[in-house]
Amino acid sequence: MGYVSNAARMFFGGPATKSVRALIWANVAVFVLQMVGEAAGIRSLVATFALIPWRVTHELALWQFASYMFLHGGVFHILFNMITLYMFGNDLERTWGTPRFLKYYFATGIGAGLCSWLAGPSSMAAIIGASGAIYGILLAYGLMYPDRIVYLNFLLPIKVKWMVLIMGAVAFLSSLTGGTPGVAHVAHLGGMVVGYIMLRGRRWTERLRAFSSNRRRAALKRQFEVYYGDVRRKIEEDKKKGPTIH
């Protein structure tokens, strides 16, 4: 994929930012270590650091919610994730700044893991990959730059908002039907959902707060009207009785 901005033609997201570069190096380093370990017949890295819901539920292996993001299932898996991170993460970090970008990246990745765990807390399947965070990055990019043009497979031009919508729909339907075996579709969808809540949740909170405030004001108004109506009726009744003689 490549994209064209409204202002200037760009390719692969521009120069790598600090956090994106560090995340790519970290993922590549862990992947190399993983491949070396598997070649030597050592699988403890995956068993220890992949997200295995059963271990989280019964052994409280809570670190797996973060560590699983740095393991990958093959060259194409890590290649897709890192290219996507490079293409779309750089603009987000430049816009948000490093602290907010890293907070968002890990929150969507961990949130995606939580969604996978909730979907099957006793599952023994090992979940690996940064795809939950990557889908969160795609969601954020689609919300911030909806009309930028993305070239799928470097051929098909499509606006980012439509690409994100299609990918979200595919992840949703696949999470219901099971989709492709070996692909954590719930994690993909979870990363998007968590990202949307983080980016749009404040609006929901403000609307809820405004709704609650309006309801309180309406209730107070009704109480005042009832009280004021009783007072006025009492005054009118006293007027009809005439003067009181002491």
* pLDDT tens, residue by residue, 34-80: 999 888 887 778 889 999 999 999 999 999 999 999 999 889 889 98
Question: pLDDT tens digits for 193-218?
Answer: 999 999 987 665 566 566 666 777 76
118: its two tokens = 């909730």
Task: Give the CATH number of domain 2-202; options: 3.30.2420.10, 1.20.140.150, 3.90.1150.10, 1.20.1540.10.
Answer: 1.20.1540.10
Torsion angles phi and psi, residue 74, rounded to 5: 160, 175
Give residue 149's pLDDT.
Answer: 82
Query: pTM for the complete prediction?
Result: 0.75
Largest CA distance in the chain: 109
Give the residue among 159, 162, 182, 102 at the shortest CA–CA distance from 136: 102
Asked if residue 114 has pLDDT above 90, the reply is yes
Active site residues: 131, 188
What is the pLDDT, as a whole number, of residue 217?
72
